[in-house]
Structure 1
Amino acid sequence: MKHPVDIHVGKRIRHRRWMLGMTQQQLAEQVGIKFQQIQKYETGMNRVSASRLWEISEALDVQIAHFFEGMKEVADGTDDQDVLSDKEAMELIRSYYAMPENQRRRLFDLARVLSGSTG
């Protein structure tokens, strides 16, 4: 049975890899394993060892803590929706961060106005 922590860590690996526009094959090559192993990590099928998680964090240019962000909400059952599992939302986020800072700010302001959010 998959452990919720393994599933969460796997999702965080997949999301970060996707945000960087990196394939499973590319990540696997950087870490020195086969892409099938990355698939198993990303689904939570296999647990990621501490040393492998270190290597993955280096390849994805994040701190190890990144993979555990939001875990408390998952454990508490208060993680109502996983917006990062929505492919359209992920494409929007990736496109947003690909924009120059001044354009991102203007788009963000426009989105707030259109949504009625005063945030």
Structure 2
Amino acid sequence: MPHPVDVHVGKRIRHRRWLTGMTQQQLAEAVGIKFQQIQKYETGANRVSASRLWDMAEALEVDVSFFFEGLAKDGHEGSTTLPADIIADKEALDLVRSYYAIPETQRKRLFDLARVLSEVA
């Protein structure tokens, strides 16, 4: 049975890959492995080495710590205010992709606006 941390890291790899619109094949080529290995990482069937995780973080343009966000100290997923499968929702995924397509300075302003609107809702 896969370790909960390996499963969590795999989910974070998959979610980030989806957000960037990258295929398993593209990520595999970026880090120099076969796409089947990406599949195994994403399901938690295989543990990702530190150096491979570093390469993936670079390819996916995130800090390595991104893959561990949402993990509780006991190695299990911590509670969040969002459903765990939010990225599986096509509308949410399209919204996030569109958000990251906006230039950073405008994106921050949009984020600030969204935060204000959510506080008054």
Report the TM range for the smaller structure's normalisation: 0.7 to 0.9
Match of 2:93 in 1: 90
Match of 1:39 in 2: 39
In 2 relative to 1, CA 89–108 (structure 1 residues): closer, same or farther, beyond 3 Å?
A: farther
In 2 relative to 1, CA 66–77 (structure 1 residues): closer, same or farther, beyond 3 Å?
A: closer
How far apart in 1 are the matches of 2:108 and 2:3? 37
Q: RMSD between aligned alpha carbons?
A: 2.8
**Residue identity opposite 1:29 in structure 2:** E
Deviation at 1:34, TM superposition (A): 0.4
Identity value in percent: 60
Matched, 1:14 2:17: no
Match of 1:58 in 2: 58
Q: How many residues align?
A: 117
Deviation at 1:24, TM superposition (A): 0.8
TM-score (ref. length: structure 2): 0.77
How far apart in 2 are the matches of 1:34 and 1:92? 30
**Residue identity opposite 2:31 in structure 1:** V
What does the per-residue CA deviation read over 1:19-45, in whole Å, with 9 as the maximum and x for residues that have no partner?
222111111011111001101111111
**Residue identity opposite 2:43 in structure 1:** T
How far apart in 1 are the matches of 2:22 and 2:33? 15
TM-score (ref. length: structure 1): 0.78
